[in-house]
Amino acid sequence: MSSCLSGNEAVAYAIKQINPDVMGAFPITPSTEIPEYFADYVASGEVNTEYVTVESEHSSMSVCIAAQAAGARSVSATSSCGLALMYELLYIAASCRLPITLACVNRTLSGPININNDYSDSMGARDTGWIQIYAENNQEAYDNFLMAMPIGESPGIRLPVMTCMDGFITSHAIENIELLETDAVRRFIGDYNPENFLLKKENPLAVGPYDVSAYYMEHKVQEAEAMKAAKARILEVAAEFEKISGRYYGLFEEYRMEDAELALVLIGSSAGTAKAAIDRLREEGVKAGLVKIRVFRPFPGEELARALANTRVVAVMDKSEGFSANGGPLFAETRSALYDLKERPYLIDIVYGLGGRDLKTEDIEKVFSRLADIALTGEIGPIYTHMGQRSKEEIE
């Protein structure tokens, strides 16, 4: 079924098709439309969801935690400072092994205040124990949300899942996408049947009690093992999803990497710009390629190392500043992943697009030009740089 929808509409429609038990949400740009559209479905009786209006994002995640712990399937949506306000609860949701599904519409974190896209919000939450899946376009935003529940709710995983898309670029742009029939979605998602939950009178339990030092580390190791196991589960769900949709998803997407000597690693909607530039460079004989990271948590380190093993020079492009003085978070993960290769490509990091700064095909071509120079001379130059910012003289 083909339809023309914005990313926010597509995710709201996915939630409608799932018909979760509870939604706790508080409006924040640019994710506001998701709960708005869904509230319409609730008001018109198209879903049976209990929609809980709250006073903040902290409270919306509290609602989701309580509902999921009671045995109800719960969802939310947020952006930027809203995700930051949930910060305490993100850890609690993951440590209590509650597979909540959250749509994160990526927006830069204040300050200075800015409502445009980068990944500073979700990257700031990268170590909270949530699975993170990123979309390049509206189709992927819809598909990722549908796949999130069978991943997170799997008995061997039981972790919350954050599906991310680019604020305004994806959330508000309208594209033609293919929707599944609701009956097919319901069969694919299945019922939520947790083994243990608060309302199960046959097996009383506590959720979130004080965890003394004699037990805390064991629980964290279990959580870490679940994140490791999530990679295989993500691929299993993707294979099941391909059967009903015809669309294939992996941990990342390789674009023209079969013989690539120069490559980019990046996340999200920038991949579309990069693909257009790579096609142009290929026509000129440049062996350029791209790895678009789809799953950031768990990070596909071994798989990424294999994908980049035969390249000569790689630029990691971070749409988030890590303030480590050594590059952004995607660079740190990629560099670590390549460490065990016997022959590693040259590697640089480029931080770009902060606060919604534009990325053009010409910018990508300049990056590849720099990679070609490195391949020719062996001179890397600065490993960690920023791209697209004006000089002090230009600002003045």
Q: What is the DSSP string of 177-244?
A: EEPPPHHHHHHHH-----S--TT-TTS---SS----HHHHHHHHHHHHHHHHHHHHHHHHHHHHHHHH
Rounded percentage of the chain residues whose pLDDT exceeds 90: 96
Domain holding 138, by residue range, is 2-245
Whether 257 and 127 map to the same domain: the answer is no
Give the Cα separation of 367 and 369 in Å (integer): 5
Whether the predicted pLDDT of 3 surpasses 80: yes
Q: What is the CATH number of the domain that holds 295?
A: 3.40.50.920
Whether 286 and 354 map to the same domain: the answer is yes
pLDDT of residue 395: 63
Helix (H) / strand (E) containing 52: strand 50-53
Q: Tokens at residue 373, please?
A: 């120079």
pLDDT average, residue stretch 167-175: 98
Which neighbouring-strand residues pair with 132?
A: 162, 297
Whether the predicted pLDDT of 391 surpasses 90: no
State the pLDDT confidence band at 392, using cuts at 50, 70 and 90: confident
Whether 14 and 120 map to the same domain: the answer is yes
State the pLDDT confidence band at 393, using cuts at 50, 70 and 90: confident
pLDDT average, residue stretch 151-179: 98
pLDDT of residue 396: 63
Q: Please write the tens of the pLDDT for every residue from 314-347.
A: 999 999 999 999 999 999 999 999 999 999 999 9
Give the domain-ending residue among 223, 245, 267: 245
> Do residues 117 and 168 lie in contact, with contact meaning Cβ atoms separated by under 8 Å?
yes
pLDDT average, residue stretch 169-190: 98
Give the domain-ending residue among 245, 279, 312: 245
Give the domain-ending residue among 199, 214, 245: 245
pLDDT of residue 185: 98
Whether 241 and 331 map to the same domain: the answer is no
Whether 151 and 270 map to the same domain: the answer is no
Whether the predicted pLDDT of 59 surpasses 70: yes
Q: What is the CATH number of the domain that holds 231?
A: 3.40.50.970
pLDDT of residue 260: 98
pTM of this structure? 0.97
Q: Please write the tens of the pLDDT for every residue from 94-122.
A: 999 999 999 999 999 998 999 999 999 99
Give the Cα separation of 347 and 123 in Å (integer): 21
Q: For 315, left (φ over 0), alpha (ψ -120 to 50), or beta?
A: beta
Q: Please write the tens of the pLDDT for every residue from 125-155.
A: 999 999 999 999 999 999 999 999 999 999 9
Whether 47 and 135 map to the same domain: the answer is yes
